[in-house]
């Protein structure tokens, strides 16, 4: 019979380490947007699923139920209402300065009225939603296995425009939160060009 080994542990130190590990997991996995493309994982997976469905701005919209089904079946194994809420938010101009999804139907109101059920609404990518994924198939970013190792998904989008600055971002994680305001796309691009010309600009 193997001798039982009991290792003494400092409770305060273990709590600190475990809390930090958990908070980092929440931050990276779901709560806060990535500065590189301005998206949370759930948003990125919805948009990628729409790209895989071929929902470019020139194509007809399809039922949001199909988009949500592909998202949770292939990339984001969580509740359908969570995925649908993410999709709806990216189509609401009062929640995103420049929407990433072109929604057709009742997507709610600024006063807080809920959207119609996903079986009634339809959507496709907006031009800016497509721009976030430009050159995705040209080895511009790393890919990782999806949750069941059947498919691959991008770690981050190439991002042809600075989405985090343009649309801002909000999120509540463990021990920290963010609330970044949106900015005008044209002014952001002008500012980037000015900074490229003169990195000492203020």
pLDDT tens digit sequence for 113-137: 999 999 999 999 999 999 999 999 9
Which tens digit of pLDDT belongs to each residue from 11-36?
Answer: 888 888 887 777 777 666 667 889 99
**Which pLDDT value is given to residue 31?**
73
Q: pTM value?
A: 0.86
Mean pLDDT is lowest, of 4-8, 83-87, 183-187, for: 4-8
Q: Is 93 helix (H, G, I), strand (E, B) or coil?
A: coil
For residues 182 and 111, the answer to whether their CB atoms sit within 8 Å is no
For β-strands 143-145 and 122-125, DSSP reports them as unpaired
Tokens representing residue 173 in the block: 């994680």
| Residue 7 pLDDT grade (very low, low, confident, very high; cuts 50, 70, 90) | confident
d(CA 178, CA 21): 19
Q: Where are the beta strands (DSSP E) in the chain?
A: 62-63, 101-104, 122-125, 143-145, 152-154, 169-172, 177-180
Residues 76-98 as b/e (b if ≥16 CB within 10 A, e otherwise) read beeeeeebbebbbbbbbeebbeb
Tokens representing residue 57 in the block: 């701005």
Terminal Cα distance for the chain, rounded: 71
**Which pLDDT value is given to residue 27?**
66
- Catalytic: which of 75, 120, 147, 195? 120
Catalytic, 195? Answer no
Strand order in the sheet with 122-125: 62-63, 122-125, 101-104
CATH entry, 26-197, from 3.30.70.260, 3.90.199.10, 2.40.50.140, 3.90.550.10: 3.90.199.10
Say which DSSP state 116 is in. Answer: P
d(CA 87, CA 96): 12
Which tens digit of pLDDT belongs to each residue from 144-169?
Answer: 999 999 999 999 999 999 999 999 98
For residues 74 and 65, the answer to whether their CB atoms sit within 8 Å is no
Helices and strands (DSSP H and E) totals, the chain: 7, 7
d(CA 43, CA 190): 27
Quick one: what percent of the chain has pLDDT higher than 90?
75
């Amino acid at each position: 019979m193997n001798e039982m080994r009991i290792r003494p542990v400092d409770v305060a130190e273990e709590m600190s380490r475990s809390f930090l590990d958990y908070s980092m997991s929440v931050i990276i996995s779901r709560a806060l947007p990535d500065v590189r493309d301005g998206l949370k994982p759930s948003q990125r997976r919805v948009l990628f699923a729409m790209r895989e469905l071929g929902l470019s701005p020139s194509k007809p919209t399809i039922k949001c139920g199909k988009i949500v089904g592909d998202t949770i079946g292939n990339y984001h194994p969580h509740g359908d209402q969570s995925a649908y809420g993410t999709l709806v938010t990216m189509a609401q101009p009062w929640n995103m300065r420049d929407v990433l999804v072109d929604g057709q139907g009742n997507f709610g109101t600024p006063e807080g009225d809920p959207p119609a059920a996903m079986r009634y609404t339809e959507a496709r990518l907006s031009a800016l939603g497509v721009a976030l994924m430009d050159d995705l198939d040209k080895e511009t970013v790393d890919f990782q296995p999806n949750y069941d190792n059947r498919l691959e998904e991008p770690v981050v989008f190439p991002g042809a425009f600075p989405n985090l600055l343009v649309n801002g971002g909000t999120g509540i994680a463990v021990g920290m939160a963010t609330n970044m305001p949106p900015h005008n796309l044209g002014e952001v691009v002008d500012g980037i060009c000015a900074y490229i010309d003169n990195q000492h600009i203020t």
